[in-house]
Structure 1
Amino acid sequence: MNQMTFHAPRLIEIGGGKVAGIAALLARLGLSRPLIVSDPFMVSSGLLERLTQPLRAAGIAFDVFSETIPEPTDIVVEAGVKRIAPHHDCLLAFGGGSPIDTAKAMTILAAGGGKMRDYKTPAVADRAALPLIAVPTTAGTGSEATRFTIVTDSERDEKMLIAGLGAMPLAAIVDYELTFSVPPRITADTGVDSFTHALEAYVSRRANAFSDPLAISAMRLIGANLRTAYHEPNNAAAREAMMLGATQAGMAFCNASVALVHGMSRPIGAHFHVPHGLSNAMLLPAVTRFSLEAALPRYAEAARLAGFAAPDDADQLAGAKLLEGLQALNAELSVPTPKQFGIAAADWQAKIALMAEQALASGSPGNNPRVPDAAEIVALYDGMYE
């Protein structure tokens, strides 16, 4: 068996209502003075009370930094670092992937100083000023279980991949009951994002014996439950399965790496402010078609696991059904093309060479079963527009 290194949080609490035990979790970890990192919607909607009420009941004092934005920037991270006070002994991230990613970047920047771009891969961000506890409220990014964060360099319009032990949460609470209020659009986008994590981890050139079972389980769970969670937001079984699948997918790609979809997705988000999960969904069918023959047995098995193909379908048929299934899924979930999203053709064309350059620079395309050159990435961007 090949040698491997596996990264994961020290502790993950999983289950409905688990967020009510936040005070006990902090006590178990020897922590008591958190800075909560969240977003304006979590505050205005009252959902943050699910976290703060049990803290108050336990007599735990906390501060809140809620100025995070949907696609974190270095400016927001720097503002967050200024809110870290000497008395804080941990960060408590509550929300979707953006608050969690912001908190990760905050603790890395607070530890090492400088600018966020100093930590962009291939740099290794292993230092953290404070331990992080992540509480996701969407079933999507898997950020609660990964050693990665994504931050936009606001001067260069570049989404930077930052990786290292400094970004790995100490602990996480995965409570599906926090996702009942997530609207259909975000349910769809985060759901496809988590499926992409699992699929890319499974076909990655860095897939391994530890990541494969997590990716396999995640594809089964997400394939069987994403449509139900989208159409029936209050379906507890579907929400629970999606939350577990998202965390498993996060652990899978944390240890096998994402590939071309994510490499191409980040520049779309940086230049055109398309939400990360949505840009992944836009790309997934085209990139899968591009990559299919280079890892046909794995893509075929993914199709069977996710329910796009029958268990006894031959690889070629299962691969074809995967392509059809991903297109049909995007249609059912109302995933727009870049054109339908409102991006002008001239603006798209003006950026695709730069986006291809940035995608390659991220390193993610190098994990793809079929490794593209810049011209092939440009052609994929060109073809997906309409």
Structure 2
Amino acid sequence: MAELELDARQVRNFRLQAHHLDAFYGRDDALAAVGACGMQNSPPGAWEAALFNRVPACGAADRDRMLLEERTLLQAWSFRGAPMVFPTADGAAFLSALAAEGDEPWIYTRGIGLALDFLGVGFDELLALLEQVMPRLDGRAVVGKAALDQTLAAWMEPLLPARKRSLWNEPSMYGSPDKQTVGGAAVSFLLRPCSFKGLVVFGAREGTSPAFSSFRTWLGRPLEPDPEAARKLVRKFLHCYGPTAPGGLAAWLGCSGAQARRLWRAASDEMEPVRFLGKKAYVLSADRERLMASEPPQRELLLLAAHDPYLDQRDRAVLQPDKALQRRIWRTVANPGAIVRRGKVAGTWTAKKKGAGLEVRADWWDNAVGEQQVRALAEQYAAFRGLELAGFERG
């Protein structure tokens, strides 16, 4: 079979469909929409905005039902060490598939080196001690991330050699030394591996603070092993972000190249090569026909929040080929939201709450985008937030 060559338009159309952004979906599609590739919840509320853009009929009561009552959705630290919301049934793909093997470094733990050097202990030794105390989370909830770090650090302290305990309780070298100890900082990094092992999850928020408990307490069972977890994870990535390559997987997960290549091999028999953007890339063989016949989306214009999964594409030229414009979309800090027209980023927007209203400032460079269209989407977004659109400005 000849190697398929794909253009950016085909790929954008396909990815919109894969991300459930090509049309309006109903409440029955909510789990599939969240589970396509998971939804980041940092900053808090990011996943809710992402779901709103896919299933606008799914309101706060529906989200709470799935996440807090039925618990068919779960929040835990996952890709890149970020809080992610995903279907509980896919827990192994979003958690245990991320566990490091052999000499692979664990995701989101590179920064722990300062604490390890100060303490004079090894990573594996400290992780083993934390795993010993994690069962004490069973049957309880700890409110606040700082409180979780310090609670676990206090539980670990008696297990440390006596000569290390004073160092463990020294002020953190990572910032906020008045609130965090070296031990608390080390725990903060080690919580990601614990999450991947199914030892800690997010529970219900209490006020503005998240609460944390054990996987077993929250769901009534441990995280079940799944030998197909790596295959399922890579399949999700390829379906939502293909055509792509192992380097794209590494960037998406925040893992090492070695781990990405190992995971990639788990699903290699489901892939085939194509030509895209002048390079060899891979797609799921099951997606080949739909990629070739991908149709324009029913929804022409989208107002996506900054951390929407669709904007997490690593080949950014697909979304916006102009590098100067790319720098306006993806910033070092505080990314704006994106105005997306037919899959391509056509502008940016920001919103600021003011009293009971929301002020939106938008700017776009595609002349096919109409101001009334953008304003209407801003009004819908404000309503989703439970606010009135108090101001709309282009600039």
Q: Which has the higher strand share?
A: 2
Larger Rg: 2
Q: Same fold (TM over 0.5)?
A: no
Greater helix content: 1
Higher RCO structure, 1 or 2 (CA under 8 Å, sep 6+):
2
